[in-house]
Amino acid sequence: MELLELTLDTPEENLALDEALLLSAEAAGEPRETLRLWEPREPFVVLGSSSRIAEEVQLDECQVRGVKVVRRTSGGAAIVTGPGCLMYSLVLSLDERPELRSIDRAHCFVLNHVARAIGGLAPGVGIRGTSDLAIGNRKFSGNSLRMKSRHLLYHGTLLYRFPLDLIEACLARPPREPAYRAARSHDEFITNLPLQSLALRLALVDAFHPTPSSADWPREMTAQLAAEKFASEDWTTRL
Over its length of 239 residues, how does the chain's per-residue pLDDT go in tens digits?
999 999 999 999 999 999 999 999 999 989 999 999 999 999 999 999 999 999 999 999 999 999 999 999 999 999 999 999 999 999 999 999 999 999 999 999 999 999 999 999 999 999 999 999 999 999 999 999 999 999 999 999 999 999 999 999 999 998 889 999 999 999 999 999 999 999 999 999 999 999 887 678 999 999 999 999 999 999 999 98
* The pLDDT value given to residue 214: 65
What value does the CA radius of gyration of the chain take, rounded to a whole number of Å?
17
| C-alpha torsion sign, points 7, 13, 19, 25 | negative
* The pLDDT value given to residue 29: 86
Whole-number average pLDDT of the chain: 95
Structure letter (DSSP) for residue 210 = P
* The pLDDT value given to residue 194: 96
Q: Helix axis angle, 197-208 relative to 103-119, nearest 10°?
A: 130
pLDDT tens-place string over residues 41-70: 999 999 999 999 999 999 999 999 999 999
Q: Which CATH architecture has domain 2-234?
A: 2-Layer Sandwich (3.30)
Q: What is the distance between the alpha carbons of residues 51 and 165, in angstroms, rounded to a whole number?
A: 21
CB–CB of 5/212 below 8 Å?
Answer: no
Q: What is the distance between the alpha carbons of residues 235 and 137, in angstroms, rounded to a whole number?
A: 34
Q: Find all residues with CB under 8 Å of 133, minimum gap 6, and list them.
A: 111, 114, 115, 118, 125, 126, 127, 139, 140, 141, 143, 156, 158
Q: Find all residues with CB under 8 Å of 62, minimum gap 6, and list them.
A: 45, 68, 69, 170
Q: How far is CA 53 from CA 78, 171, 221, 225, in A?
A: 8, 10, 27, 21
* The pLDDT value given to residue 104: 96
* The pLDDT value given to residue 145: 97
Q: What is the DSSP string of 77-100?
A: --EEE-TTEEEEEEEEETTT-GGG
Structure letter (DSSP) for residue 171 = B
